[in-house]
Amino acid sequence: MNLAIMMNGLPGAMGREIASAAIRREGVTLAPFALTGAGMGGEVEVDGVTVRLYEPSEKEECARLAKEAYPEAGSLVCIDFTHPTAVNGNAEWYGANRLPFVMGTTGGDRDALFGVTRESGTYAVIAPNMAKQIVALQAALEQMASDFGGSFEGYALSVVESHQSTKADTSGTAKAVSTSLAKLTNEPDFTADDYAQIQRVRDTDEQLAGGGSSHRGCSPVPEAFLGGHAFHTYALTSADGNVEFQFRHNVCGRSTYAEGSVDAAVFLAKRVGAAAEQRVYDMVDVLKMGGI
């Protein structure tokens, strides 16, 4: 296949990681232009490829370039790892210009994100986590919650998530997994107040020591990965404290998310090229439909 990826989120660390993964992938190239944040315009080089970065005020010029350079359906997919505050505006831009996109950025108004994407008819993969292995675990927990809802009734759920200090919002994966686990404890109606109870660890000293205020905290983070990691601990504890179940996933670095993001883009390009009836997907769809 011949696919170009527009990496919106450069020169950020996640953007660089995905751009490198795209360059390594056979049949995939990195588009020489992309969106960036205000005041971040200019050029950036990734593994020998120079990318011109367009600020929000230059969005329309970037869209024009994209349509002229990649007119064939499925020849260009945008990957978005920007900032939570940019999610909805970027989604509207993708929709208005019919640019297929993979949305890895978490936060923003998610209902509005899905709404504007479906209304525009744009092809998209929208997911809070692009790591295929974590997504598979998450799907298994969702199935477990569906099959055995209430089986942990009376147990208390605690969640601790540790990410690099630059991550602005609570992990979307932590929210999604918490929702499934809450069904097991027979508390299926998770609200924003419940999400607020998820313990976010962003202090580096606390991360090095094993983030969290109790024995249910995250594992100690290796110093080399303070700038890029995702350590999550989910604990279900009986009312008397005598029984505890834990689920953990500890990810150092960003490569697993980068490779999954490129997989999602390749998957989406094929759906666009085939004019598939379904337009909006998540990473479970990517896994189930052979996008691995």
Smallest CA-to-CA distance from 179 within 170, 169, 190, 168 is with 190
* 67 in active site: no
> In sequence order, which residues have a C-beta less than 8 Å from that of residue 59 and are 6 or more positions away?
35, 93
Instruction: Please report the pLDDT score of residue 114 as a whole number.
Output: 97
pLDDT one-digit tens code per residue, 222-273: 999 999 999 999 999 999 999 999 999 999 999 999 999 999 999 999 999 9
Q: In angstroms, how far is the first alpha carbon of the chain from the final one?
A: 15
CA 270 from chain centre, in angstroms, equals 20
Domain 133-252 part of CATH 3.10.290.20 = no
Residues 59, 83, 132, 167: which is the catalytic one? Answer: 167
Mean pLDDT, range 186-193, rounded to an integer: 68
Alpha-helix residue ranges (DSSP H) falling in the chain: 13-24, 59-69, 87-96, 110-120, 132-147, 172-184, 192-195, 204-209, 255-273, 283-288
pLDDT digits (tens, 9 = 90+) for 145-155: 999 999 999 99
Segment among 49-53, 72-76, 181-185, 265-269 with least mean pLDDT: 181-185
Domain 3-126+255-288 has CATH 3.40.50.280: no
3-state SS record for 76-94: EEEEECCCHHHHHHHHHHH
Q: Is the pLDDT of residue 291 over 70?
A: no
Task: Specify the domain boundaries for CATH 3.40.50.720 within the chain.
Answer: 3-126+255-288
Whether 86 and 19 have beta carbons less than 8 Å apart is answered as no
Q: Beta 49-54 vs 42-46: how paired, if at all? A: antiparallel
279 vs 166: which has the higher pLDDT = 279
Residues of the chain with CATH 3.30.360.10: 133-252
Pick the catalytic residue: 59, 67, 163, 270? Answer: 163
Inter-residue contact 199 to 178 (CB < 8 Å): no
Render pLDDT for 12-32 as a digit per residue (tens, 0 to 9): 999 999 999 999 999 999 999
**pLDDT value of residue 192:** 57
| pLDDT at residue 96 is higher than 90 | yes
Quote the pLDDT of residue 134.
Answer: 92
What is the per-residue pLDDT for 213?
55
Residue with tokens 């989604």: 91
CA angle at residue 271 from 269 to 274, to 5 degrees? 110
Q: Which residue has the higher pLDDT, 211 or 222?
A: 222
Across the range 103-124, mean pLDDT stands at: 95
Distances (CA, A) of 53 to 10, 90, 268: 8, 15, 23
pLDDT for residue 212: 63
Angle between helices 172-184 and 132-147 (to 10 degrees): 20
288 carries an active-site annotation? no
CA distance 194 to 108: 18
CB 29 within 8 A of CB 37: no
